[in-house]
């Protein structure tokens, strides 16, 4: 398939719990465009060396770092957009940080996709790649939060349980290029 070049660059945010496939799908999706960039929010978080806090349990320090991460992702995305690149942001977001992204891009449409495989599929994927009990527990908590709120926000929910990354990326690509 030929890569597509859009007249107006898009902003796509892919969210979901750990193990949902955000990073893999983001990179596959980016490969479908002639000009694209993937911003991984976890990588931005890891840039903080001295003073970095664990992202859970939540407290005021966590909130300040998450705000900074969202702000930096937005600034970086804007730089790519101004140079004609389509931007895919890989980030776990809830209502507050989604609003932060939307406020930053107030004159541009940001399309948000929630990858939400079934609980069983999510844990199977997680167990195939991670051996971290604390992160596994956090993944389960995030899954429950996303499941409860999946219909509350302006995002496209994709059950990617039975899809490979290519299929999920194709589904998102179709939505983005309508």
Parse the chain into domains and list their residue ranges: 11-176
- CATH number for domain 11-176, candidates 3.40.50.970, 3.30.1330.60, 3.40.50.300, 3.30.70.1230: 3.40.50.300
Average pLDDT, integer, range 72-88: 95
Do 4 and 33 touch, CB atoms closer than 8 A?
Answer: yes
Query: C-alpha distances in angstroms, 95 versus 13, 69, 92, 146?
Result: 13, 15, 10, 10
Q: How confident is the model at residue 13 (pLDDT cuts 50, 70, 90)?
A: very high
Span 81-120, pLDDT tens digits: 999 999 999 999 988 889 999 998 877 889 999 999 998 8
């Amino acid at each position: 398939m030929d890569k597509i070049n859009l007249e107006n660059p898009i902003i796509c945010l892919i969210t979901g719990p750990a193990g949902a496939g955000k990073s893999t799908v983001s990179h596959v999706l980016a490969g479908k465009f002639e000009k694209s960039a993937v911003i991984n929010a976890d990588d931005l978080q890891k840039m903080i060396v001295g003073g970095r806090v664990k992202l859970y349990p939540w407290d005021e320090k966590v909130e300040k770092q998450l705000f900074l991460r969202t702000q930096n992702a937005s600034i970086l995305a804007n730089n790519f957009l101004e140079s004609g690149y389509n931007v895919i942001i890989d980030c776990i977001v809830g209502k507050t940080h989604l609003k932060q992204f939307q406020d930053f891009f107030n004159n541009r449409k940001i399309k948000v996709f929630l990858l939400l495989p079934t609980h069983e599929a999510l844990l199977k994927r997680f167990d195939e790649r991670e051996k971290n009990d604390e992160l596994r527990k956090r993944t389960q908590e995030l899954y429950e939060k996303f499941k409860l709120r999946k219909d509350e926000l302006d995002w496209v929910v994709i059950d990617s349980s039975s899809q490979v990354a290519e299929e999920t990326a194709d589904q998102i690509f179709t939505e983005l290029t309508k």
